[in-house]
Structure 1
């Protein structure tokens, strides 16, 4: 057992017999981890997980492996996988597979940009391998959560068998940021006059007799791009892609050579973005003294993307107005399919900047600039709504216009024994996020982490910072992390007392490890031991709980490498001069 740290409770020892959990260690008489007016039950005996997507499965796998055996998972759909249970034709992940897999289970090869239905099967296999299936209640929709007098929660559900109510000690909200069961279609004046068909992107898989139809696809995200390509393939008629504003799209490989994650998802990459709330002294210097160099770096990247994606001339309306670093900073970037921009340039997809103002009595579609277009179908690739109507009143009372402001994106002050898990945070590698959050939550529930006494002040400080800095984040402001996900992961691992530097180098030793931790992306598998719990048996991975990681060595190595390259270049020039003088 690791030594007790100030402000933290040690992990209680556990005996499991006949399915019951009994605390037998030094914390056996403790019931709560206290933090001011907030309290979390230690070793809750009965846990409810709402959601059977990647987050719910990750939570169940981690909690079960940490001795929490009485777990019930409620899934409203007929199958596991969440957003991967169903989708439009050829829907797929938009990241390399190394960034989108459970940390303790590899995707099969080829793993990059995997088909959505393969991800669904992958989730089902994961649930079976870890004995989770017996805990899942399919087709059970949670309708309400109500607090009890003793700090527990009554969870009400509806299913084909009828309604039910069960009391739980702890509730995990693993419903995802957006629900695939709540499709968002904007309200448009005169929609009843439209004579064609109206679909959400998720409903396009079953369209029949589509040949020759004129399709209008609304949106500019990955689903809009995919639906436009599908429409061309199925109708034979170039569809219109209508978008209100363009956002920077990232090719899968920059200049066909550099994988996009090396540019955006390394510590170096996140360090070049506008600085996050928590940044070290060296990064502060980088964003002050070296600010012109950072600006030039992003202008270079922006110029490369304009050239590679062809965002000039007749396609200049596809170029975003925001600077690329500001757009990416606020989560608007898209990793695009390699064929979509060439299809736009060839007018195989007719990209139109604007938005629908109304549907005229004739059935024509009037845009905000007064022009009218005709279509036989409208496909809204406009995402999903966040639905909170089943949440307890205590939690809903804390919701603000730009979302729930939480401690570590999981806990809301004043709402004990309930936590968001991957449903109040937006990251690139959300399947990895779910695993790390689950490990952090397990440590908290076992009494190994205590909440700070000033949790409300911490949240208030972060809220102010987000509202001051994330100007373009809109209603995602409270839960946006995205390209700064490594900072968030470091924060959670630091709370747990786990080493944030996940990469090692057998060849170059500490120098190689420093370079890898600084310049290479952190992949899902780098956090395997965090999910399995094996990090606790590795002295290299154990740090003091709440420690502050330093990257001074990485900066020293970086500066040394750059200085060495400069000296080598100067020496080569000197050698060249000597050789030239001798020849003369």
Structure 2
């Protein structure tokens, strides 16, 4: 079978985009990549939105690294910072000579299917303060690798009265660090991996920090039961996902309590919340905030928010609180392929917007 070299456009130079560029080049194709930012790295390269100060990965570098450039096998497992991961991505680009194939500060404006089946990709190039220039080129195929989580598409919950709250409302997409919340009374809504970081950072500087969520997260400890290894080093993650496995683990921990004394409070809380979650949920792989829950620095209010009346927030647990700030850690809309990119184009593959719409909670309608 004769191999035909194709001209391929890759949109985005984040994690998936970089791998797409490398693999396409390895197969002998001609590749042009388009990245709106000034460097590679996607959300990890951003200084505002999605990526924030003091951010750390939720899996070890041995799990996060690409198979074509793994860390040394004897390198101790660690949770890299955002900055350290960007260093890795730059080294990946240099090792496989990817940078010369990427057009930075270039925004794709349209993708048009032509009668012969090829696609015209149109773009605009220009950094901050520079005059924009337009361009277009014909490609045999296009790989859209722009990611699912972008600051331009925050998911906003429909909470009665939220629009009239007199204080400041911030989505985690705009969160950079805790300094603006120092000395304030802050209510954080949501409990994903970003919320764990954001709540922990804010609580350390706020006058008071409440944390509320509708359902308990399926927590996984970074270093289970005091082990030196990260959780991805020694356990199959499917075991954490299965509810019966979590119940079995909890019962085993109870038996160990009786035989050898109780588990540390931190690990006990992780197990307790995992059981309360019911299992079969997306793993929340960040337990750094747990000590602050145990100390009371983070005031947990399970059940979420019922309504907001003026400056008073009515929580599902019956409490009424009056925060100065509300921080929404409620994720992002995954629907994000712009309509103008799809002029006559049929997109193959799994589209996150489909799953996002189907699995969306009935009370979690989105504001446009």
Normalising by structure 2, report the TM-score. 0.79
User: How far apart, CA to CA, are the structure 2 residues paired with 1:129 and 1:111?
Assistant: 22
| Structure with the higher helix share, 1 or 2 | 1
- The residue aligned with 2:18 is 57
| 1:43 matches 2:5 | yes
Match of 1:126 among 79, 89, 92: 92
Contact 1:176 1:424 in 2 (8 A): no
Contact 2:154 2:332 in 1 (8 A): yes
Assess, with a 3 A threshold, how the Cα gap between structure 1 residues 305 and 77 changes in structure 2: closer, same or farther: farther
Assess, with a 3 A threshold, how the Cα gap between structure 1 residues 474 and 302 changes in structure 2: closer, same or farther: farther
Which portions of structure 1, spanning 4 or more consecutive aligned residues, are displaced by more than 6 angstroms?
A: 271-274
User: How far apart, CA to CA, are the structure 2 residues paired with 1:305 and 1:142?
Assistant: 53
Q: Aligned-pair distance for 1:57?
A: 0.6
Equivalent residue of 2:296, what SS?
Answer: coil
Equivalent residue of 1:239, what SS?
Answer: strand
Match of 1:359 among 308, 311, 318: 308
Assess, with a 3 A threshold, how the Cα gap between structure 1 residues 166 and 94 changes in structure 2: closer, same or farther: same
Structure 1: unaligned runs, 5 residues or longer? 1-9, 13-22, 24-41, 275-293, 396-414, 426-462, 468-472, 477-584
| 1:348 matches 2:297 | yes
User: How far apart, CA to CA, are the structure 1 residues paired with 2:253 and 2:61?
Assistant: 23
Offset from partner CA, 1:356-384 (integer Å, 9 cap, x none): 343323x2223356642111111112222
- The residue aligned with 1:547 is none
Equivalent residue of 2:86, what SS?
Answer: helix
Equivalent residue of 2:226, what SS?
Answer: coil
| 1:114 matches 2:74 | no
Contact 1:244 1:353 in 2 (8 A): yes
Contact 2:178 2:202 in 1 (8 A): no
Match of 1:204 among 152, 171, 175: 175
Equivalent residue of 2:110, what SS?
Answer: strand
Aligned length: 335
The CA RMSD over aligned residues, in Å, is: 3.3
Q: Aligned-pair distance for 1:172?
A: 0.8
User: How far apart, CA to CA, are the structure 2 residues paired with 1:185 and 1:304?
Assistant: 40
Q: Aligned-pair distance for 1:394?
A: 5.2
User: How far apart, CA to CA, are the structure 2 residues paired with 1:319 and 1:149?
Assistant: 54
Match of 2:114 among 132, 148, 156: 148
Equivalent residue of 1:385, what SS?
Answer: coil
Contact 1:238 1:347 in 2 (8 A): no
Contact 2:184 2:208 in 1 (8 A): no
User: How far apart, CA to CA, are the structure 1 residues paired with 2:19 and 2:224?
Assistant: 32
Contact 2:204 2:297 in 1 (8 A): no
User: How far apart, CA to CA, are the structure 2 residues paired with 1:305 and 1:349?
Assistant: 25
* 1:129-278 matched pairs, under 5 angstroms: 129-160=95-126, 161-205=132-176, 208-235=179-206, 237-257=207-227, 259-261=230-232, 264-265=235-236, 270=238
- The residue aligned with 1:376 is 324
Q: Aligned-pair distance for 1:209?
A: 4.8
- The residue aligned with 2:359 is 474
User: How far apart, CA to CA, are the structure 2 residues paired with 1:232 and 1:336?
Assistant: 16
Q: Aligned-pair distance for 1:149?
A: 0.4
Contact 2:303 2:317 in 1 (8 A): yes
Contact 1:52 1:73 in 2 (8 A): yes
Q: Aligned-pair distance for 1:51?
A: 0.9
Assess, with a 3 A threshold, how the Cα gap between structure 1 residues 111 and 85 changes in structure 2: closer, same or farther: farther
Structure 2: unaligned runs, 5 residues or longer? 127-131, 255-262, 362-368
Offset from partner CA, 1:239-276 (integer Å, 9 cap, x none): 111111112111123322374225643xxx658976xx
Q: Aligned-pair distance for 1:107?
A: 4.3
Contact 1:72 1:137 in 2 (8 A): yes
| Structure with the higher strand share, 1 or 2 | 2
Q: Aligned-pair distance for 1:156?
A: 2.6
User: How far apart, CA to CA, are the structure 1 residues paired with 2:252 and 2:220?
Assistant: 11
Structure having the higher Rg: 1
Equivalent residue of 2:205, what SS?
Answer: helix
Q: Aligned-pair distance for 1:63?
A: 1.4
Contact 1:356 1:365 in 2 (8 A): yes
Equivalent residue of 2:181, what SS?
Answer: coil
Assess, with a 3 A threshold, how the Cα gap between structure 1 residues 190 and 84 changes in structure 2: closer, same or farther: same
- The residue aligned with 1:457 is none
User: How far apart, CA to CA, are the structure 2 residues paired with 1:61 and 1:74?
Assistant: 14
- The residue aligned with 1:74 is 34
Assess, with a 3 A threshold, how the Cα gap between structure 1 residues 247 and 97 changes in structure 2: closer, same or farther: same
Contact 2:78 2:230 in 1 (8 A): no
User: How far apart, CA to CA, are the structure 2 residues paired with 1:273 and 1:208?
Assistant: 36
Assess, with a 3 A threshold, how the Cα gap between structure 1 residues 140 and 130 changes in structure 2: closer, same or farther: same
User: How far apart, CA to CA, are the structure 2 residues paired with 1:261 and 1:82?
Assistant: 24
Equivalent residue of 1:379, what SS?
Answer: strand
